[in-house]
Chains A and B, each alone.
Chain A
Amino acid sequence: MHTKTGATKINVQNVRKGFPADKGRLEVIDDLNFDVADGEFVAIVGPSGCGKTTLMNIMAGFLAPDTGAVLVDGKARFQPNSKGILITQQGSVFPWLTVRENLLFGLPDEMPNREALAEEYAALVGLKGFENNYPHELSGGMLKRAEIARALVVKPEILYMDEPFSALDALMSLRMQNELLRILGIERHTVLLITHDVEEAIHLADRILVLSPRPARIQASFDVTLPHPRRVSSPEAQALRVAILKELGVSETV
């Protein structure tokens, strides 16, 4: 199911970004160039503090690059919009709205079938029966499901996921990865995933980009051709994992 359609969806062109620091300037991203195909799942891994989140904020339109541009469908993106929804580690489901109200939030008030759509997506992520609950009544995993449903219900073309499952425990994280794959099997989206978890990247992505330490450049790129469902314990996956970890400067001794 993870076949590239070929058409370029996102085009990152010569993106540089720095921030003013105590002494001079802190260069965070150094001339990044890469493409993401329509429907492709690209994971970005890199050492902590390498500028992954800055990159994601630029791609999602929350931050302007110093130079270069991010083109979506060939057009430069300057501002966030509902064609690409950002999901972060801390999450942003509104705690003052019920699950249903959260799902309805991104849908225009005048949309005729919005209630039905919200119901459909609550069911899709397995939140049927919890539509009238408030977020503080949900578990961490259910909260993530609500966040994913709120993103998907507006029919975005791109999902930007910045360490989406890092705050969950290992078991729940794995479960949510499988959920995400199941949902993407039903609805194909272009996905950009930032993670520090190499196994998560191997489990989910069609392609893995390894970023260098700050300032971030693309240091290596790995195509993941293993068929789904993937077993991260398989020899091929483990070989890939060792190769990626080596790029990250971690040599594994068993």
Chain B
Amino acid sequence: MKKLGSVLPSIIVLAVVVVIWWIAVLATESVIFPTPLQVVTGTMELARDGTLWEHIGASLFRVAAGFLIAVVFAIPLGLWMGWVHGAFVTLNPLFQILRPISPIAWIPIAILWFGVGNASPIYLIFIASVFPMIVQTTAGVHTIEKRFLRAAENFAVPRGKLFRQVVFPATLPQIIVGMRIGLGVAWLVVVAAEMIALRSGLGYMIIDSRNAGNRYDLVIAGMIIIGLIGLALDGSMRMLEGMKNVRWRYAH
């Protein structure tokens, strides 16, 4: 009951938005802009002939690939930069310059280097998500409280154990924050990347629906599906924040 009470207001807001949309379309007698019902029927149509699942699958595959490569790259690098001062002062300026460059600006170079296949968007997703994860991981190491490092020093444990049981787990909450940011950006970027060169994915579906006969019902269907999947991806990262060994950091 309590749970229902907390989600009810947001459901009402969503319902109001849909109703206003519907009324606005009917009132303006628009022939191009679809009603919510048309969007639903359009979506069902795509779901039935299977193309919707292909597009979703293609987008998710690219995000998963680019994001996982970024994770494998960013976490060790971030830990190293956080722990070794020399590595930080050497590499940090480079990353601080690369970080503000929108991944969209990389599209021409991605096409030049990787062509128009899957490698281009995967590269763009990698570029988009790797920097926030490096930055968060590094900051996570830098903010480990001194009292914990001292305790570790006091017990004089070997270096490997220090990393496994102190440095990494102490940084893990920040790593998860970085992964959440990284995955969010990755999902934004995959849609943009697919609009340019590819022949599959939700981004392509949107552009193609518009180009092939002004199917704005499918354009909006694509947008809503992107939103819902983005929400689900963020929710999956939030579940990581619920793990017992990281909860200490988020408790307050």
Q: Which residue of the partner chain B has the closest CB to A62?
A: B150
In Å, the complex CA distance between A154 and B156 comes to: 11
Residues of chain A within 8 A (CB-CB) of B151 are 86, 92, 94
B119 close to chain A: CB less than 8 A: no
CB distance from B177 to the nearest CB of A (A): 15
A93-112 contacts to B, CB under 8 A, are 94-97, 101, 105-106, 109
**CB-based contact B150/A96 at 8 Å:** no
B157 contacts A97, C-beta separation under 8 Å: no
Most buried by A among B153, B154, B244, B246: B154
In the assembled complex, the CB of A47 is this many whole angstroms from the nearest CB of chain B, namely 24
- Is A140 interfacial (CB-CB < 8 Å)? no
CB-CB under 8 A from A101, the residues of chain B are: 165
Say how far A45's CB is from chain B's closest CB, in angstroms: 23
Stretch among A77-85, A121-129, A234-242 lining the B interface: A77-85
Question: Interface size (B, Cβ < 8 Å)?
Answer: 23
Query: Measured between C-beta atoms, what is the minimum distance from B246 to chain A in Å?
Result: 7
Say how far A58's CB is from chain B's closest CB, in angstroms.
Answer: 14
B150 touches A106 (CB 8 A): no
Determine whether A182 belongs to the interface, using a CB cutoff of 8 Å to chain B. Answer: no
For chain A residues 44-81, which have a beta carbon within 8 Å of chain B?
A: 60, 62, 80-81
Per-position 1/0 for B141-160, Cβ under 8 A of A:
00000011011111111000
Q: Do the beta carbons of A94 and B165 come within 8 Å of each other?
A: yes
Q: Is the CB of B166 within 8 A of A94?
A: yes
Cα distance A216–B12 in the bound complex, in angstroms = 68
Choose from B153, B155, B172, B251 the contact partner of A96 (Cβ within 8 Å). Answer: B172
Check if A80 sits within 8 Å of B148, measured CB to CB.
no
Closest residue of B by beta carbon distance from A134: B244
Chain B, residues 227-252, CB within 8 Å of chain A (1/0): the string is 00000000000000000111111010
A62-B150, A92-B148 in contact; A136/B157 too (CB < 8 A)?
Answer: no
Is B161 touching A82 in the complex (CB atoms < 8 A)? no
What residue of chain B has the Cβ atom nearest to residue A109's Cβ? B161
B63 within 8 A of A: no
Give the one of A86, A96, A97 with max B CB within 10 A: A96
Contact between A136 and B248, CB atoms less than 8 A apart: yes
Of B166, B172, B248, the residue contacting A134 (CB under 8 A) is B248
Partner of A60, one of B154, B169, B248: B154
Contacts of B155 in A (CB 8 A): 82, 85, 105-106, 154
Which chain A positions have C-beta within 8 A of B251?
A: 136
Q: Is B127 an interface residue (CB 8 A)?
A: no
Q: CB of A90 within 8 A of chain B?
A: yes
Which residue of chain A is the closest to B160 with respect to CB atoms?
A109
In the complex, what distance in Å separates the CA atom of A82 from the CA atom of B161? 15
28 contacts between A and B (CB under 8 A): A60-B154, A62-B153, A80-B153, A80-B156, A81-B156, A82-B155, A85-B154, A85-B155, A86-B150, A86-B151, A86-B154, A88-B147, A92-B147, A92-B150, A94-B148, A94-B165, A94-B169, A95-B248, A95-B249, A96-B170, A96-B245, A96-B248, A105-B155, A105-B165, A134-B248, A135-B248, A136-B248, A136-B251
Seed contacts A92-B150, A106-B155, A136-B251; 18 additional CB < 8 Å A-B pairs: A62-B153, A81-B154, A81-B156, A85-B155, A86-B151, A88-B147, A90-B147, A92-B148, A94-B165, A94-B169, A95-B248, A96-B170, A96-B172, A96-B248, A97-B165, A101-B165, A109-B161, A134-B248
- A residues within 8 Å of B by Cβ? 60, 62, 80-82, 85-86, 88, 90-92, 94-97, 101, 105-106, 109, 134-136, 154
Among all A-B residue pairs, the 4 with the closest Cβ atoms? A95-B248, A92-B151, A106-B155, A96-B169
